[in-house]
């Protein structure tokens, strides 16, 4: 589609296809990103859910860690879900030995804050930034944001106050998986940031 934003989905591990399909449905030109030259060709990046420690290791194996860090520092819009949120956090409180993140979000995240896969759950969340209709959120071995800096906007929290969605400039992160439920509004928020950045060029 002419004039569509070109966005990448980091395709090292995780629920890549779900994000790619949702983004394509919103009119984006979607590229699967595994190499630095593929990253250089996109105007925004989605880091999917999966295993944060595995994506971290593969990003280093494929020579992607530093290019992603550099792109984030240069203002690339990035949306991370679940493991993607962990990888965008400046601090991972309970990572496995040697685990690293890309960083960019001034937050502290705890992995698997709700326990094992069997502790996964769904609920409706009030997200005022996305309108009055609640967001149906699916949490699968989800992380929690335990600390957020002054520059971080808290977009959604659980009823007990624990933070599950944040935004900082062109970076968006959610503990849950909108792509699983066909919920498009977080991806639309991300794409708005992509379009804003490309329009300034």
Q: Which residues are designated catalytic?
A: 82, 177, 179
**CA 193 from chain center: how many Å?**
13
Q: List phi, psi (to 5°) of 43.
A: -100, -5
Query: Contact 22/182 with Cβ under 8 angstroms?
Result: yes
Cβ neighbours for 63, distance < 8 A, ≥ 6 positions apart: 35, 36
**DSSP, res 34:** -
Q: Which two tokens stand for residue 128?
A: 């005022």
Report how far residue 7's alpha carbon sits from residue 78's, in angstroms, rounded to the nearest whole number. 9
What are the beta bridge partners of residue 136? 124
Q: Which two tokens stand for residue 29?
A: 């030109």
Q: Which two tokens stand for residue 45?
A: 């990046």
- Greatest Cα-to-Cα distance within the chain, rounded to the nearest angstrom: 46
What are the beta bridge partners of residue 10? 33
């Amino acid at each position: 589609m002419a004039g569509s934003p070109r966005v990448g989905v980091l395709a090292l591990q995780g629920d890549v296809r779900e994000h790619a399909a949702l983004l394509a449905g919103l009119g984006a030109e979607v590229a699967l990103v595994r190499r630095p030259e593929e990253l250089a060709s996109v105007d925004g990046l989605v880091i999917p859910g999966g295993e944060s420690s595995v994506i971290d290791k593969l990003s280093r194996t494929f020579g992607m860690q530093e290019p992603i860090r550099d792109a984030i520092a240069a203002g690339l819009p990035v949306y991370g879900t679940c493991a993607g949120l962990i990888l965008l956090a400046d601090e991972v409180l309970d990572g496995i030995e040697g685990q690293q993140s890309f960083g960019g979000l001034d937050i502290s995240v705890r992995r698997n804050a709700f326990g094992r896969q069997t502790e996964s759950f769904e609920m409706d969340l009030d997200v005022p930034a996305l309108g009055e209709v609640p967001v149906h959120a699916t949490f699968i071995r989800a992380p929690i944001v335990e600390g957020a800096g002054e520059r971080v906007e808290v977009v959604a929290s659980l009823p007990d106050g624990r933070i599950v969605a944040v935004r900082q400039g062109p970076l968006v992160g959610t503990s849950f998986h909108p792509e699983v439920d066909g919920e498009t509004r977080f991806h639309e928020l991300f794409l708005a940031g992509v379009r804003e950045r490309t329009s300034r060029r």
